[in-house]
């Protein structure tokens, strides 16, 4: 074989490699198209087929019109679901990692927020077909949240990742978020109502609110309001009252009021709830006098 033939063979081999790469790329695109249409509605499948160069029934205008209507319906459904469950989705990425005639395995990443709590959930979803029936199962689950929101949420996250109970995570996240919002709103209410008495050292989302009379320096009541979440997803608000009264200042207060403040506060909590209990305890110890 002379040098000219060797060069021609080399060019043909390079051309074959490029064709093989192009075929592999087209096969991957087609596989992605099949994976997408696997869960899409008929309108979506027709539009995707049109984009991929296939010939669906109807003109391009009809396909696009049907697709637009489908997207609008999906947006309305998503908005309605967000209003109902309080959870808003920012992004959802899906990648197929295994596919056969009887099994589909997809890697999913969903990010969003519930109130002011942001989250990112990564999980692997497998769907196995047996005849006309199919079974879906989550194989792995990883939840990422801002560390500042995990004081009372960490043990629950570990448990839900172990059990792979995605429904329990979203249900508990909504309840936890609601209880945190109630605490924030109550703290903000008292700070706005009694700005000379109430302070929030850690901000309105912290667990601590302090009460002090402007004319009684060193006399401080601290309200510690935590929202605890068990490993099983039970959400329990717990409110405690702590007193800090200098020895000299105790002479200005009845001993019964000081010693029984925490007990009276917990009794009021059971009867009237946190907001009314805080209002009563402030008046009981005389912090509103002369205000």
Q: What is the CATH number of the domain that holds 127?
A: 3.10.450
The answer to whether 210 touches 278, Cβ cutoff 8 Å, is: no
Residues 159 and 208 in one domain: no
The last residue of one of the domains, among 133, 151, 175, is 175
Of 75-89, 121-135, 174-188, 266-280, least confident by mean pLDDT is: 75-89
Q: 105 falls in which pLDDT band (50, 70, 90)?
A: confident
Residues 233 and 163 in one domain: no
Identify whether 58 is part of a domain.
no
Residues 213 and 259 in one domain: yes
Residues 186 and 203 in one domain: yes
- Please check the confidence at residue 125 and state whether its pLDDT lies above 70: yes
For the beta sheet containing 133-145, the strands, ordered from the edge strand earlier in sequence to the opposite edge, are 87-99, 103-114, 117-130, 133-145
Residues 169 and 104 in one domain: yes
Q: What is the pLDDT of residue 122?
A: 93
Identify whether 71 is part of a domain.
no
Residues 165 and 215 in one domain: no
- Please check the confidence at residue 214 and state whether its pLDDT lies above 60: yes
Identify whether 29 is part of a domain.
yes
| Beta pairing class for 198-199 and 117-130 | unpaired
How high does pLDDT run on average in the chain?
75
| Beta pairing class for 133-145 and 198-199 | unpaired
The last residue of one of the domains, among 155, 175, 195, is 175
How far apart are alpha carbons 29 and 176 in whole angstroms? 42
The pTM (predicted TM-score) of the whole model is 0.67
Residues 192 and 279 in one domain: yes
Q: 72 falls in which pLDDT band (50, 70, 90)?
A: low
Residues 168 and 185 in one domain: no
Identify whether 77 is part of a domain.
no
How far apart are alpha carbons 115 and 91 in whole angstroms? 16
Residues 234 and 275 in one domain: yes
Residues 210 and 163 in one domain: no
Q: What is the mean pLDDT of residues 17-31?
A: 68
Identify whether 54 is part of a domain.
no
Q: What is the mean pLDDT of residues 212-223?
A: 76
How far apart are alpha carbons 219 and 221 in whole angstroms? 7
Identify whether 73 is part of a domain.
no
Q: What is the pLDDT of residue 187?
A: 92
Could you give the number of structural domains in the chain?
3
Residues 160 and 194 in one domain: no
Q: What is the mean pLDDT of residues 158-182?
A: 89
Residues 214 and 268 in one domain: yes
Domain containing residue 157: 84-175
Q: What is the pLDDT of residue 224?
A: 92
The last residue of one of the domains, among 118, 146, 175, is 175
Identify whether 115 is part of a domain.
yes
Helix, strand, or coil here: 89? strand
Identify whether 75 is part of a domain.
no
Please list the alpha-helical segments (H only) found in the chain. 3-37, 42-51, 60-85, 154-163, 166-193, 255-259, 261-272, 274-284
Q: 36 falls in which pLDDT band (50, 70, 90)?
A: very low
């Amino acid at each position: 074989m002379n040098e000219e033939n060797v060069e021609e063979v080399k060019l043909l081999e390079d051309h074959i490699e490029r064709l093989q790469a192009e075929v592999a790329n087209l096969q991957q695109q087609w596989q992605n198209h099949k994976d997408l249409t696997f869960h899409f509605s008929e309108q979506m499948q027709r539009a995707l087929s049109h984009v991929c160069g296939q010939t669906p029934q109807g003109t391009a205008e009809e396909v696009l019109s049907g697709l637009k209507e489908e997207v609008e319906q999906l947006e309305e459904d998503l908005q309605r679901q967000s209003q109902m469950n309080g959870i808003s989705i920012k992004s959802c990425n899906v990648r197929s990692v295994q596919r056969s005639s009887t099994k589909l395995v997809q890697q999913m990443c969903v990010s969003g927020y519930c109130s002011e709590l942001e989250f990112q959930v990564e999980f692997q979803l497998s769907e196995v077909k047996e005849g006309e029936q199919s079974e879906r199962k989550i194989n792995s689950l990883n939840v990422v949240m801002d560390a500042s929101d995990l004081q009372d949420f960490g043990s629950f996250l570990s448990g839900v990742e172990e059990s792979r109970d995605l429904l329990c995570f979203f249900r508990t996240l909504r309840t936890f978020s609601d209880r945190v919002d109630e605490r924030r709103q109550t703290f903000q209410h008292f700070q706005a109502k009694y700005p000379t008495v109430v302070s929030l050292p850690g901000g309105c989302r912290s667990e601590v609110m302090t009460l002090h009379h402007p004319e009684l320096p060193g006399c401080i009541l601290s309200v510690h309001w935590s929202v605890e979440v068990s490993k099983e997803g039970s959400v329990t608000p717990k409110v405690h009252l702590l007193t800090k009264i200098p020895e000299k200042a105790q002479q200005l207060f009845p001993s019964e009021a000081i010693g029984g403040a925490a007990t009276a506060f917990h009794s009021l909590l059971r009867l009237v709830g946190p907001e009314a209990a805080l209002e009563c305890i402030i008046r009981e110890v005389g912090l509103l006098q002369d205000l």
